[in-house]
Structure 1
Amino acid sequence: MAQNKQITLDMNGKPFNRTAMVAVLLIGTFAGVLMQTSLGTAIPTLMHDFDISFSTAQQATTWFLLANGVMMPISAFLSTRINTRTLYIISYALLTTGMALTAFSPAESSSWWIFLLGRIITAVAVGVTMPLMQVVMINIYPIEERGAAMGLNGIVIGLAPAIGPSLSGWILEKDHVLLGLTISDSWRTIFILPLIVVVIAFILSFFFVKNVLSTKHMKLDILSFILSVVGFGVFIWGFTNVSTDGWGDIKTVISPILVGLVIILLFIWRQLKMPVPFMDVRVFKNKQFSLTTLAVMMTMMAMMGVQMMLPTYLQNVHGMSTLNSGLVLLPGALLMGIMAPIAGRAYDRIGAKRLSIIGFAILALGTLPFMFITTSTPGAFITTLYALRMFGVATAMMPLTTMSMSVLPPNEAAHATASNNTARQVASSVVVALLTSVTQNIMTNSQPSKALQTANPLQYGADMLDASMKGFRVSFALGFMFAIVGLILVFFIRKGKVVPYGMTNGVTIKDEKED
């Protein structure tokens, strides 16, 4: 594929509309990634409509995380083996099928498996489209515009998960007129609205998505495939069980984590021995790639440290509805969407180090006050702090993600993206399990005795609230700690805009440089 400032050419040397193609990729992938966090506020509704328990309803999130996580390593093989246009058409078809199954599955306990199947198919599609979009962006933009391109990618990675809970809260508390029909307080709308967007993207992909990545006939290594799926799947499954079973459960938590870890190590060992690996883990031998990937993981963990617990705090302590708690977080989510492309463009000028230092510093400063919030902390103050945090997340994450893709040659972009996204997915699963268990344990150990509930109900209620606050504060403190670790890590990455060796997009690329 070749490119100059005026014309972008596909793999066949034919010009295509880059802007139209990027728009199709962004809107389709955004609608898919939105599904990662959209069910957080809908669990009680699903429990009621399907007549299922809380743990059963949580499977809608658990299985999504599992399917999404195991697809990340596989994405490198798929993007190398299948041409871009075909892979996107297949992925959007799967995304359409998955969302349709969840949106229109019968609301009864015997049909819950249909809902779960839809969630799994959706997650599989997202596990392909999200990393594939990053690889495409790296290849269709020249070096001097790469930061801005990854900033657009950041709108999907950052804004979609952040806005999911707010959108779901709004949907569940309002009546909506859709295609002439009034839908009242329905969880189905959570899927129907993005489904319409995905169908549009699916149709447009036939016309605007072109083959822009080189492919080669690559035999699927069945053993690597099995090790990847089982290893990462079992490992993530173990962590997702912590919230319901606790760290002490041998059967559903400890054993899966240990077994998954052993299988992952076998997978890594096999990839190092193969001349043409299924997923090239040798990318981690590059110090700068490893550092930036670790820093991105810390960004995710610091972000989740507050984002996961804050809605619960707002609803349980302040008595807010799902809609109002989502609205408190909405300005921060929107600010992240605005800042992602801005931070990407800033990378094109000054590189990742200074931006990520500023980003992590802002993230830490925005998290610190959360460690001292009380039952009477004003909602406006929380909104401001949360927006400040998301500003920091975008300022750090976008340049770091771009740099992690730029320190390696273009022919390794697919493997670098798969590795980076897998690490980020694992980090998200681990931090959710860690924070949920730590917060719950502190709440349980700090709550008053049952005898006090009868002797002094008012005091019992106050002590229970105090126990909850202790748990929330520790969760926020862990989020602050991850921000500090990330801040320390980024001091060791290179200064300036890192540019890899080789040729890409018709532009001669120079050695890594420092400002």
Structure 2
Amino acid sequence: MNTTNHYDVNGKPYHRGLMLALSLFATFAAALMQTSLGTALPRLMTVFDINLSTAQQATTWFILASAIMVPISSFLIKKFSVNQLSIMAYICLALGVAISAFTPAQHDMWLLFVFGRIIAALAVGVMMPLLQIIIVNIYDAQERGTAMGLMGLVVGMAPALGPTLTGWILDQNHVIFGLTISNSWRTIFYLPLAVIVIAVVLSPFLIKDVIKKEDVSLDWLSLVLSSVGFGLFLLGFTNVSSDGWGDLATVVSPIMGGVLLIGLLVWRQLRLEDPFLDVRVFKSKRFTLTTLAMVLSTMAMMGVEMMLPTYLQNVHGLSALDSGLTLLPGALLMGLFSPIAGKLYEKAGIQRLTIAGFSILAIGTIPFAFIDISTTTLTIVVMYALRMIGIALVLMPLTTEAMAALPIEKATDGTAVNNTARQVASSVGTAILTSITQNVINQNEPAKHLKTLNPLKYADQYLNASMDGFRVAFIVGLGFAICGLILAFWLKSHSQRVTDGEGAA
């Protein structure tokens, strides 16, 4: 890709390769914050003297805050210049990470720690769509696949690396190039903070205004409906793993209330001349089909990705670090294949690539439907790595295809809708597989009195019940992949659209 002789909206030359590199650099550090605390919860419980449910607030509120910001990103990207919004997002992220990193380790300071996580999450919710819209605007359709493949490093690889990196940090002190990396929980935040500070310093020089600002006004009612609606909806699905589907107060009510408010949001957007979130992008069949396929790939990825560490720790008895290391090869291969997928998208087209990707994903998931206690860790490493190759071949190419389905002036709205769909799919997929696992375990677990009468028999039967739960959950994950494969046959590559008389978007 040619990275010189490009001009921003003010007619000033800029180096788009350096601009993309800095945006990827900063967003990668932000994405690490999404999953990095999962492995650190036991340490945080000790230093802050809190229980598990309280510690999980750090993750729950991060997910909710970042998800709420994604729909709002469309308005922000139109209202502010790319340079302004990037700098604001980076400073917000640095502030949030710093608050959590330097929070005194005292029980009564825990809320300050969570507040820092929320501030960081607000930035993350904007940075992901912003990176996507930058790519759409600085690369044309022929080059966009490769650039979006690089974005796949951020979307897929960084969250997968988060738990492993945290486990490595907490395991012991490390010496790299003569520098000692402390195993303090604060180090989890120091490393991304250093990256973000560098991004803040370089942004005024490398991040240029590649999108014209629009004179848009904020529809406050839409903002409230979006924030509260998506917040309640995702909160309900987040609570499923701990409270089950039947809990009226924490699961059913939030989900139903969220659906109602989101419905009102959609109704209002269709009646606004300048909508807060333009859902009319779904009028494009091509955009709708590719977004739905992307949702299925996200559910297949995140659902199994969140279940495997639990399986490895509960069944195989691995530590948090070892379970993270087991999944590391898959994360690395996804990072390796994401740019390759971008090149393949440009050459082979979306249909053939998506069929191949979902087929590989399904083949890699089938063995998980038959796992038992004797399944080796090596088998899991190989099959998980195969799954992640399949994910890499479909996730960002589908996103690229969805953006190509819309005219450039609708790219901002399409990006916000696409990223919102990905956030919702991630939460829903995880909730479905987690709840299925727990329900199967509850139905098959041995009687409580057996725990006292024959502890060994109880442990053996409970382990078998757990295996049944994991197997059923993985079968559902396989179902997501098969549905995606079926849908792939409905997608059309550029040459097919031209043949059918549809032309290019």
Task: Kindly provide the amino acid, as one letter, of the partner of residue 503 in structure 2.
Answer: E
2:153 is the counterpart of 1:155:
yes
Unmatched 5+ stretches in structure 2? none
2:503 corresponding residue in structure 1:
512
2:258 maps to which residue?
Answer: 260
- 436-445 or 15-24, larger mean C-alpha shift: 436-445
What's the counterpart of residue 312 of structure 2? 314
1:460-485 deviations in Å (ceiling 9; x for gaps): 11111111111111111111011111
Change (3 A) 1:511 1:81: farther
Q: TM-score, normalised by structure 1?
A: 0.94
1:292 pairs, out of 290, 293, 314, with 290
1:122-146 C-alpha deviation (Å, 9 max, x unpaired)? 1110111110110110110122101
Q: Which residue of 2 aligns with 1:506?
A: none
**Matched letter for residue 266 of structure 1:** L
CA contact (8 A) 1:176 1:183 kept: yes
Once residues 421 and 308 of structure 1 are traced to their aligned partners in structure 2, the CA distance between those partners, rounded to angstroms, is 19
The answer as to whether partners of 1:98 and 1:122 remain within 8 angstroms in 2 is yes
Cα deviations by residue, 1:370-427 (Å, 9 ceiling, x for unpaired)? 0111112111111000000000000011211100010000111110010000011011
| Paired residues for 1:125-144 under 5 Å | 125-144=123-142
Q: What are the superposed Cα offsets for residues 249-304 of structure 1, whole Å, 9 maximum, x if unpaired?
A: 11111111111111101100110001111110000111111111111010011112
Q: Would you say 1:54 and 2:52 are equivalent positions?
A: yes
- 1:331 counterpart letter in structure 2: P
Match of 1:63 among 54, 61, 64: 61
* 1:187 alignment counterpart: 185
Distance of 1:101 and 1:180 partners within structure 2 = 28
- Cα deviation digits, residues 11-61 of structure 1 (max 9, x gap): 111111111111110010000011111111111111111111111111111
How far, CA to CA, are the matches of 2:497 and 2:45 in structure 1? 51
Partner in structure 2 of residue 459 of structure 1: 457
Q: Which residue in the other structure is 1:505 paired with?
A: none
TM-score by length of 2: 0.96
Partner residue in 2 for 1:413: 411
Of 70, 73, 81, the match for 1:72 = 70
List runs of 5+ in structure 1 lacking aligned partners.
501-509
- Number of matched pairs: 503
- 2:224 and 2:496 mapped to 1: Cα distance? 35
Q: CA offset at residue 498 of structure 1?
A: 9.0
CA distance in 2, matches of 1:53, 1:179: 38
Query: Does structure 2 retain, via aligned residues, the 8 Å contact 1:349–1:497?
Result: no
Distance (whole Å) between structure 1 residues aligned to residue 50 and residue 179 of structure 2: 28
Amino acid at match of 1:296: M
CA distance in 1, matches of 2:497, 2:227: 33
Indicate if the aligned counterparts of 1:95 and 1:198 stay in contact, CA closer than 8 A: yes
Partner residue of 2:389?
391
User: CA offset at residue 320 of structure 1?
Assistant: 1.1
Q: Tell me the secondary structure at the aligned position of residue 216 of structure 2.
A: coil
1:512, CA displacement in angstroms? 3.2
Sort the Cα spacing of 1:180 and 1:224 in 2 relative to 1 into closer, same or farther, 3 A. Answer: farther
| Cα deviation digits, residues 334-356 of structure 1 (max 9, x gap) | 00001111101111112111101
Comparing 332-341 and 427-436, the one that deviates more:
427-436
CA contact (8 A) 2:303 2:426 kept: no
Structure 1 CA distance for aligned equivalents of residues 388 and 57 of structure 2: 28
In 1: Cα distance, 2:330 partner to 2:391 partner = 10
For residues 144-177 of structure 1, the C-alpha deviation after alignment (integer angstroms, 9 at most, x for no partner) is: 1011111111111111111111111111112146
Q: 1:45 aligned to 2:36?
A: no
Percent pairwise identity: 57
Match of 2:279 in 1: 281
Deviation per residue, 1:43-96 (Å, 9 max, x gap)? 111111111111111111110111111111100111011000000000000010
Indicate if the aligned counterparts of 1:8 and 1:17 stay in contact, CA closer than 8 A: yes
Aligned mate of 2:357, from 356, 359, 366: 359
- The letter for the 2-side match of 1:115 is F
- Distance in 1, Cα, partners of 2:176 & 2:346: 42
Distance change (3 Å), C-alpha of 1:488 and 1:162:
same
Name 2:221's counterpart in structure 1. 223
Q: Helix, strand or coil for the counterpart of 2:6? A: coil
- Equivalent pair of 1:95/1:121 in contact (CA under 8 Å): yes
Separation (CA, whole Å) in 1 of partners of 2:463 and 2:351: 42
Any idea what SS the aligned residue of 1:273 has?
coil
Q: Secondary structure at the match of 1:319?
A: coil
Q: Are the equivalent residues in 2 in contact too, given 1:227–1:263 (CA < 8 A)? A: yes
Alignment of 1:85-164 (within 5 A): 85-164=83-162
Q: Which has the larger displacement, 454-463 or 391-400?
A: 454-463
Structure 2: distance between partners of 1:57 and 1:11 = 46
Moved more, 169-178 or 123-132: 169-178
Shift of 1:318: 1.1
Does the 8 Å contact 1:143/1:499 carry over to 2?
no
Which has the larger displacement, 407-416 or 485-494? 485-494
Q: Determine the structure 2 residue equivalent to 1:471.
A: 469
CA gap 1:181/1:16 in 2 versus in 1, 3 angstroms: closer
